[in-house]
Structure 1
Amino acid sequence: MLNPFLLRHPAFLRFWLGQTASSLAYQMLVVGIGWQMYDLTGSALSLGLIGLAQFLPQLLLTLVAGHVADQYNRRIIVIVCRVILALTMAGLVYANVTGQLSPAVIYSCGALLGATRAFEAPATQALLPNLVTPDQLPKALALTAGTREATVIAGPAIGGLVYLVGSHWLYGASVACFVLSALVLLALPYEYQAPRREPASLQSLFSGIHFIRQNPVVLGAISLDLFSVLLGGATALLPIVAKDILHTGPWGLGLLRSAPAIGALLMSLWLARFPMEKRVGKTMFYAVALFGLATVVFGLSHNLWLSMAALLVLGASDMVSVIIRSTLIQLETPDAMRGRVSAVNYIFIGTSNQLGEFESGVTAAWFGVVPAIVLGGVGTLVVVALWMKLFPALTHRDKLAS
């Protein structure tokens, strides 16, 4: 049964359906690409290179994509991107059916996925505030984030089942989902008002960074997320924790990997029903502090169920921070700048996740797994304390809408 908020807002319903189909498609295809690459090469390095093939185009193109999102119709940008994603998956279907699949083909598709998502993400993030009122935005973000977490849980499982029938069927299902996500946006009631065209320049491309530096609320929110994820990337060490500390098998690892997403999903459903209205600044800091504490408990735990509980709390607290941060960034940013600011935020999110995993791996190699996780959690608590002093405007922010 659909949430009543979705039924009352047909424009957001179409947006939500498109996001759900697109996210499900991506989560399914990740299973196929990873499995096939390892099947072809038997190399863990090859799996890492798939991520690099997607990350580098995103890093190089996202600022340009943010400029494009502020200059052209965001709905059309998202539709075109999803059509390109569908065509990319169709290429993998063809390569599988004709027996022409190779690591080079997978790397090429990964690079195209990364480049396309670099344009899709800022346009999508900047489009949502045009479909709902400012007071409805937190609920809309909670529903969207909750659905994304649901696809993170369900997508790989569905993809694995479809893959048993045939790899081309898996990619074919992704094609269908991407096409559906584009089709539902064709009739999206979005009134596009063409802005005054601004030629691409270094000043225009970096204006999102300049805006963030001048706005302490936005700068504090983005940088808090950046450093907390950098220090609290304990999930990167889950395979080691599962095997060497908790002494469980693949089933236990699966439970541990699902726990943060389940916690985030449950919290997003709660926030969609009961959106935050007061003391949002301190609430965000308390949520990040709870994230740090949950990380410490996870690092010290030698019991599977306690570790799962810590990861559930970690995912739930992270979702609170994500909703507040995302809403503040969108509401504090003028519509003409939302694409570029969203692009910078997207870079920070992607970079922090990648570097957070790297940081966890390095500290684990230096100090051991448990000290690395605990130090990351403690570091997160230190960052919270510092940021509450450095960004008083964010700390004392009462309502999401200023």
Structure 2
Amino acid sequence: MRALLRHASFTRFWSARIGSIAAQQMLMLAIGWHMYDLTSSAWDLGLVGLFQFVPALATTFVAGHCADRMHRGRLVAFCLAAQAAVAAFLAVSTVTHIVTRDVLLGLSLMLGAIRPFQMSGQQALLPMLVPPTLLAQATALSTVGQQVSVIAGPALGGLLFAIGVNAVYATCAALFCMSAVMCIFIRYEYVPPPREPVTAETLLAGLRFVWSNPLLLGGVSLDLFAVLFGGATALLPVYAKEILHVGPQGLGLLRSAPAVGALCVGLVLSRSAISSGVGKKLLIAVGVYGACIVAFGLSRSFPVSLALLAIAGGADTISVVVRQTLVQLETPDRMRGRVAAVNTLFVGASNQLGEFESGATAAAFGVIGSVVFGGCATILVSVAWSRLFKPLARRETLH
């Protein structure tokens, strides 16, 4: 970890990532609360998520192309500055009482269109800031920062709500601005790429590259199907209220438990990267994740459920670090932005479709049946991928 923090640009990148993710968590918490406060409509609350997801689909491949054609630090800084402007506008418009349902939905569209550019730039930027031998540890430390922000962001937002929603928006704007400034000062060896026309072929080059590489296709699709089947997050409110009987306070702990497990495992991996049998360990981690989801689905004990979700979060972190590192190391720099865009698209789709899958199977099999089915399907996916994607299963080292 000390070796990583000696790299000034990585330290700026890591600090900016913590600040920006905390701000994003707080901003989405505030927009959701604000929308429900204005309309008292669960439908409108769902539209906030939809209005962010749809433009993200439309801009993903363009975002990847930009990440391969522009200075990635400046691209990320611009995206953070744009989000700071949105948060500042919300702070001012809340004070002046001009925020409406349509304003919140319009700003949600804007945020959804911006985020793919930020995520593609961030993922493609990281390998440029550290030596290849430290990339796995850098990815793990980035995951640690992300989990800290996921835990601390909503907690800080909840405290600021005591002052008012405009205080949350103003704090988000400040965090986004500080993160943008840090990204501006990120330095790496940037060589402007040769000019070429923007065509469907160049925009979809990342998708073709992933499709033609069994190792990358196996890793990216593994995440897609594991999260699609194994995500129980959408049903946690039902477990908190109807099965574990722990109320909203317990729901908060259930939502935080995977992040706590991910944080602990991420700290370990940031000090000592996995050095052998990475393909096998990746698939085992996905299988452990699925087994924990099955056990959680059957559990009636709140402490046991918390522990299972924490272990699942830790196993998922092993999967994330191995997959992200392999994707970065197996992709030439000229393609990293577009491959990162494909990865972002798969992750976003798996999260959104996973919530739909949970609701659909819950309607068909009941809540417990849905979670158990999803966990079993995730275990089967890990077994199937060990047969279908031999280069991934047999991969020995990250480098």
What's the TM-score, normalizing by structure 1? Answer: 0.98
1:3-402 correspondence runs (5 A): 4-401=2-399
* CA shift for structure 1 position 140: 0.7
1: CA distance between counterparts of 2:296 and 2:156? Answer: 29
2: CA distance between counterparts of 1:357 and 1:383? Answer: 18
* CA shift for structure 1 position 400: 0.5
SS at structure 1 position matched to 2:341: helix
* CA shift for structure 1 position 6: 4.3
1: CA distance between counterparts of 2:305 and 2:87? Answer: 37
* One-letter amino acid of the structure 1 residue matched with residue 110 of structure 2: L
Give yes or no for contact 1:57–1:118 (8 Å, CA) kept in 2.
Answer: no
Give yes or no for contact 1:12–1:131 (8 Å, CA) kept in 2.
Answer: yes
Give yes or no for contact 1:85–1:113 (8 Å, CA) kept in 2.
Answer: yes
* CA shift for structure 1 position 11: 1.3
Number of equivalenced pairs: 399
Give yes or no for contact 2:4–2:134 (8 Å, CA) kept in 1.
Answer: no
* One-letter amino acid of the structure 2 residue matched with residue 226 of structure 1: L
* CA shift for structure 1 position 299: 0.5
What's the TM-score, normalizing by structure 2? Answer: 0.99
RMSD: 0.9
2: CA distance between counterparts of 1:174 and 1:300? Answer: 39
Deviations 1:72-112 (A, max 9, x none): 11111111111111111111012101110111111111111
1: CA distance between counterparts of 2:238 and 2:16? Answer: 37
1: CA distance between counterparts of 2:85 and 2:200? Answer: 32
Give yes or no for contact 2:18–2:148 (8 Å, CA) kept in 1.
Answer: no
Structure 2 segments unaligned to the other structure (5+ residues): none
* One-letter amino acid of the structure 1 residue matched with residue 255 of structure 2: R
1: CA distance between counterparts of 2:62 and 2:183? Answer: 23
1: CA distance between counterparts of 2:161 and 2:239? Answer: 28
1: CA distance between counterparts of 2:128 and 2:381? Answer: 33
Give yes or no for contact 2:226–2:286 (8 Å, CA) kept in 1.
Answer: yes
Deviations 1:35-67 (A, max 9, x none): 111110111111110001111111100101101
* CA shift for structure 1 position 186: 2.1
* One-letter amino acid of the structure 1 residue matched with residue 78 of structure 2: V
Give yes or no for contact 2:228–2:350 (8 Å, CA) kept in 1.
Answer: yes
Structure 1 segments unaligned to the other structure (5+ residues): none
2: CA distance between counterparts of 1:275 and 1:31? Answer: 34
Deviates more, 1:107-116 or 1:318-327: 107-116
Deviates more, 1:286-295 or 1:93-102: 93-102
Share of identical aligned residues, percent?
Answer: 49
* One-letter amino acid of the structure 1 residue matched with residue 36 of structure 2: Y
Deviations 1:290-338 (A, max 9, x none): 0000000001101111111110111000000000000000000000000
Give yes or no for contact 1:77–1:119 (8 Å, CA) kept in 2.
Answer: yes
* One-letter amino acid of the structure 2 residue matched with residue 10 of structure 1: A
Give yes or no for contact 1:139–1:271 (8 Å, CA) kept in 2.
Answer: yes
2: CA distance between counterparts of 1:139 and 1:277? Answer: 11
* CA shift for structure 1 position 191: 2.1
* One-letter amino acid of the structure 2 residue matched with residue 346 of structure 1: T
Deviations 1:115-153 (A, max 9, x none): 111211101110110111111111111111111111111
1: CA distance between counterparts of 2:195 and 2:130? Answer: 25
Give yes or no for contact 2:227–2:350 (8 Å, CA) kept in 1.
Answer: yes
* CA shift for structure 1 position 71: 1.2
Give yes or no for contact 2:4–2:130 (8 Å, CA) kept in 1.
Answer: no
* CA shift for structure 1 position 245: 1.0
